[in-house]
Amino acid sequence: MLNAIILGIVQGLTEFLPISSNAHLRLVGLLLGTGTDPGAAFTAIIQLGTELAVVVYFGADLWRIISRWFLALFGRIPRNDPDAKMGWFIILGSVPIVVLGVIFQKTIETTLRSLWVIAVTLIVFGLLLGIADYVGSKKRRLRDLTAPHAAIYGGAQALALLPGVSRSGGTITAGLFLGYERAAAARYSFLLAIPAVFGSGLFELYKTIKSPGSEVFTAGETAVATVVSFVVGLVVIVFFMNYISKRSFLPFVIYRLALGGTLVALLSAGVVQPV
């Protein structure tokens, strides 16, 4: 139970920061001394907690987007209504990760959870985040979002199927390259994650209920970790949205490079094993 609580805290701390919650759950799971990977199912389920934090934080925005999307769908308001369009953009951006997640599910749950994959993606996508933050014009706002841009965001989110990329890091990086403000890129990133994370988490929850017994943590431990991740995640998202409205992503870039480099050194020296 203590290990589950610790991993719930880690999930809440890292989900919204561009440093990869999946990578940290994988690494902390090893550091706890269990000698095991917490597993893709556990990871997906406790992400429901942090995603619920997004729903709470952006509750007013979500209600407006969903309600006006339905009104536009049935012709009650113009189809080019900004909130209705945002609903379509979230749907469009969610397609890549759903399709690729289904196609590569087995690979994601096994091969791609190698620590070598995590080390490389931490470094590579850390560098990309730094470059995007430096060269991006940061002039566009969410009202400037277009269907092609939503598709690019979606492709970037799909890259988060690789542990170490970071869902928020990948989509924010894409947004910065497209010229969006830091806060705008993060806001759409968090909204875009809702369908994918809830879909993945609920699917893994269904599989766990249907075929119990193969998980590292019990149902009770997973539930507690999910609640903890929600509470911590809500605090972190408030901090993060305030932080990026005033400061750059440089500290996160440095952290990713340091963590990835340390992991490469440990793997090369044989101190830790890749699987």
**Domain presence at residue 275:** no
Rounded Cα distance between 83 and 122, Å, is 34
Residues 217 and 36: their CA atoms lie apart, in Å, by: 11
Query: pLDDT of 73-99, one tens digit each?
Result: 999 999 999 999 999 999 999 999 988
pLDDT at 215: 66
Spell out the residues 6+ positions from residue 149 whose beta carbon is closer than 8 angstroms to its own.
178
Question: How many Å apart are CA 49 and CA 179, to the nearest integer?
Answer: 31
Whether 257 is covered by a domain: the verdict is yes
Evaluated on CA atoms 20, 25, 28, 30, the torsion sign reads negative
Residue partners of 243: CB distance under 8 A and separation at least 6: none
Q: Percent of the chain beyond pLDDT 70?
A: 95
Q: Does some domain include residue 273?
A: no
Please report whether residue 92 resides in a domain: yes
In a domain, 98, yes or no: yes
Q: Evaluate whether residue 224 is within a structural domain.
A: yes
Beta carbons within 8 Å of 44's beta carbon, 6+ residues apart: 197, 200, 201, 203, 204
Is position 274 within any domain? no
Q: Rounded to whole angstroms, how far apart are CA atoms 206 and 200?
A: 10
- Give the residue numbers spanning the domain of 219: 2-268
Mean model confidence pLDDT for the chain: 90
pLDDT in tens, 143-182: 999 999 999 999 999 998 888 999 999 999 999 999 999 9
Could you tell me the pLDDT band of residue 113, with boundaries at 50, 70 and 90?
A: confident
Q: What is the number of structural domains in the chain? A: 1
